[in-house]
Amino acid sequence: MSRNLRLCTPIVTAILFVILVFMNYLGYWTADRFIQILFFLMMIHSVFIAGIETEKKTKKQKLINRSLSTNNEDKESATRSENQPGFRRSSQLAKWRGMPIILPYNFK
């Protein structure tokens, strides 16, 4: 399944279920109580699935953009590190960014 079709199918499904539920609410068509509840639950499910697929695509795109930008930074820092002996590369510093800073209890 292509990437665009994988993203568009849940979005179109969610839109169609939203239209069906609101058409029922406005009285354009009638159905049994069971069918109304079933369509409502399917609408909620399809909206969540569309959101999950969209999140996957945006997260993947952010990772691609981040990896492209870090590759460029690493190339630039590698050329600067040759000229400056005490300079650390950004990839080496990235290991320390996520660590919490633990201070002593009586630190002022």
Give 25-76 pLDDT, tens digit per residue: 898 888 889 999 999 999 999 999 999 988 988 888 888 888 777 766 555 5
Exposed/middle/buried for residue 13 (C-beta within 10 Å: 0-12, 13-18, 19+): middle
3-state helix, strand, coil in the chain (%, to 5): 75, 0, 25
Domain layout of the chain by residue ranges:
3-82
Higher local confidence (pLDDT), 107 or 30: 30
Q: What is the pTM of this model?
A: 0.57
Higher local confidence (pLDDT), 19 or 104: 19
Higher local confidence (pLDDT), 1 or 24: 24
pLDDT, tens digit (0-9, with 9 covering 90-100), for 8-29: 899 999 999 999 999 988 988 8
Helix H or strand E segment including 91: helix 90-97
- What is the DSSP-derived secondary structure letter of residue 99? S
Q: Say if residue 108's pLDDT is above 70.
A: no
